[in-house]
Structures are given as C-alpha cells and as structure tokens.
Amino acid sequence: MRRQVQKQRASLDSSMKRSDSMLRSQSKYFDSVSLARDMEQNNRNLSSFVNNLREREKKEKQKMWMRIGLGIVFLAIGIIGVTRKRKVKK
C-alpha cells in the first residue's frame, strides 16, 4: 500500500510540475502579447498627441502673424495720420 501511495504522489507531483510549467509558459505568452498591445497603443497615443501639438503650434503661429500684420497696418495708419498736413485756418 505504501508503494502505491508513493507512486500516486510521484504521479501527482509530476503532473503538478507539468501543469505549473504549462501555466508559466502560457502566462509568459499572454504577458508578451499584452505588452506588445500596450506598446502599440502607446505609440498610437503618442503620435496622436504629437500631431495635436503640431496643429496647435501651427494655429498659434498663424494667430501670431495675423496680430503682427494688424499691428503693422495700424502703425502705418497712425504714422500717415500724424505726418499728413493739416489745413491751416485763416
């Protein structure tokens, strides 16, 4: 009877080792798949963020040049207004 119990224990231990090994390999596979998926999602998010940042900078530059242009126009109008001759009253 002891021999039979020892055989069953040995069988149980070997099956436990095999199942643990299979679980470890399966978890490594799922970890690598999830890691690849996360990396791909991070890359997409980063590229989207960079594109949004570039768009915003482009709009800010357009606004800046518009303000500079309007400032130059108003400066020219002010200079013309100051330098033109006024009619002399008699």
Provide DSSP, 24-80: HHHHHHHHHHHHHHHHHHHHHHHHHHHHHHHHHHHHHHHHHHHHHHHHHHHHHHHHH
CA distance 58 to 23: 52
Q: Work out the average pLDDT over 22-40.
A: 82
pLDDT band at 76 (very low <50, low <70, confident <90, very high): very high
pLDDT band at 18 (very low <50, low <70, confident <90, very high): confident
pTM exceeds cut of 0.95: no
CA distance 73 to 58: 23
- Phi, psi of 58, rounded to the nearest 5 degrees: -65, -45
